[in-house]
Structure 1
């Protein structure tokens, strides 16, 4: 399959770089400054087990339809990116977004149709360093994907294409629930770390910290329950493990905030607050985080 990655930041650069290294036919659609940096340094992945450098194929404008398009941009950049992407999506293209929250699914279905828009969930701790290289912060690198409704004969081919590339890849028949599972986790950790301006471990060691974290997790979980996507099983266990850790666990939103960068406050926190209002669920802690992040965004 011909694969196009829209974006070559921490997420797109990591998964697209691994696929390139494994010999897959991967192209990156990026802005000119990023293209120049990749031409200069190559695509470098600095992982706990060593460094990998690949020479990626890079374009700044779509050059025709692809079989698989992976969208790996921040949620606030999605709408502009979709306009750029239109020539790359053909009648049988599969579009897999690796974005946070849920709102982007509606945008993709509206733009490309339910037969081409799938769901995607990635779990990875990664960032870009000052050189523009991808830094994998832990061994977590999981990717799941699947059609939004029912079966699709293309799932076998897509699974074969994304498997065996040095990360955990899995086809999902419940991708919408997985999107909600990740949303609740990210909203909890993101709201906690940005509201308290510190990592989860530090919050747990502070007076009232554990009670605050459990109350926040109860709020986000209640929203998912009211929306018909209750957090259960492994997802609930991951959420619990995330809020009781004594390690310096942060969130991508916190890392962006401390660097003075734009944050995905709307897609991760704001949309969940709106969902809570829709179902009349009280979320005072989540609302406080949303307000704080809105004030921060005004300073940019």
Structure 2
């Protein structure tokens, strides 16, 4: 199976590296500057006992010339429009696209661009980041990629993708409702992002101050209420996990959205927060804390757009 991983960042780079390490035919679609860095240093993975370097097969958008069997789409929502245009030559009649973005709005974008046929649902659970050299650093054990047909039916193509992932050491549990899994991850990531962005600090820093320990559960209750109203209630086990994650004393955990905010970069505010609070309004679910986080992030976004050079 010919595999195209769109992006070689913290998440897509990790899954693509594991597949390539397992001997699969993997090509990374990257920007010219990232391609130059990877040709010089290789694709390096480190952390948690992982320490290996690959010489990845690379392609830039102008050199894409044929369809692939599987596309792992791992870009930020702010780059989705451009990525979809770049991908056009890589998507043929039998191509399967597994998007690893959080949230839900990207599904409509992809189906509008490529039709409903190629697009599966996808949920990535991996704690990785890029260091100053562009190497992938693994910070916590999860390495899970859930995929499935958006209508919930069983299919040979889903099983083929899962077999590839499992063979590469990636956990890929079966699901009959990948859309629900996407909703549950959406609640998790927006809860974590709202806590850190509102507190302007890591989870442990928020928990350490008076009243801080109650922020995470309060935000989680709002997100979970939206998911339930949308028909995708979050299971108790996942609610407990998220609550523990955002109330752990001393935790250094921050999501990439928070790190983008602090660095003065654009964030995925509309894709992750704007869409969620918009659905909350349509479902008549009150979300005051999520609304406040959305407002703050929108102010930041407008500031970045007006002064992209940081001036």
TM-score normalised by the chain length of structure 1: 0.96
Matched, 1:166 2:175: no
Q: Which residue of 2 aligns with 1:191?
A: 194
Residue range with higher mean Cα deviation, 284-293 or 137-146: 137-146
CA contact (8 A) 1:10 1:135 kept: yes
Q: Once superposed, what is the RMSD of the aligned Cα atoms?
A: 1.3
Q: Give distance in 2, aligned partners of 1:26 and 1:45.
A: 16
Measured after TM superposition, the shift of residue 298 of structure 1 is 2.3
Q: Which residue of 1 aligns with 2:252?
A: 248
User: SS of the residue aligned with 1:207?
Assistant: coil
CA contact (8 A) 2:48 2:139 kept: yes
Matched, 1:7 2:11: no
Q: Give distance in 2, aligned partners of 1:60 and 1:188.
A: 35
Measured after TM superposition, the shift of residue 113 of structure 1 is 2.4
Match of 1:143 among 142, 145, 149: 145
Residue range with higher mean Cα deviation, 263-272 or 284-293: 263-272
Match of 2:81 among 79, 101, 110: 79
Match of 1:207 among 205, 210, 229: 210
Q: Which residue of 1 aligns with 2:35?
A: 35
Q: Give distance in 1, aligned partners of 2:117 and 2:50.
A: 39
Match of 2:91 among 76, 89, 92: 89
Q: Which residue of 2 aligns with 1:18?
A: 18
Residue range with higher mean Cα deviation, 280-289 or 165-174: 165-174
Q: Which residue of 2 aligns with 1:223?
A: 226
Q: Give distance in 2, aligned partners of 1:63 and 1:281.
A: 47
Measured after TM superposition, the shift of residue 238 of structure 1 is 1.8
Residue range with higher mean Cα deviation, 229-238 or 269-278: 229-238
CA contact (8 A) 2:128 2:137 kept: yes
Match of 1:289 among 280, 293, 302: 293
Measured after TM superposition, the shift of residue 173 of structure 1 is 2.0
How many residues align? The count is: 300
Report the CA distance shift for 1:201/1:49 in structure 2 as closer, same or farther (over 3 A): same
> Structure 1: which 5+ residue stretches go unaligned?
none
Residue range with higher mean Cα deviation, 231-240 or 264-273: 231-240
Q: Which residue of 1 aligns with 2:308?
A: none
Q: Which residue of 2 aligns with 1:52?
A: 52
Runs of 4+ in 1 over 6 A off after TM superposition: none
CA contact (8 A) 2:45 2:51 kept: yes
TM-score normalised by the chain length of structure 2: 0.93
Q: Give distance in 2, aligned partners of 1:36 and 1:179.
A: 34
Q: Give distance in 2, aligned partners of 1:60 and 1:171.
A: 33
Matched, 1:280 2:308: no
Residue range with higher mean Cα deviation, 264-273 or 183-192: 264-273
Q: Give distance in 2, aligned partners of 1:207 and 1:274.
A: 31
> Structure 2: which 5+ residue stretches go unaligned?
305-311
CA contact (8 A) 1:114 1:148 kept: no
CA contact (8 A) 1:9 1:128 kept: yes
CA contact (8 A) 1:180 1:224 kept: yes
Q: Give distance in 2, aligned partners of 1:141 and 1:161.
A: 14
Residue range with higher mean Cα deviation, 190-199 or 155-164: 155-164
Measured after TM superposition, the shift of residue 91 of structure 1 is 0.6
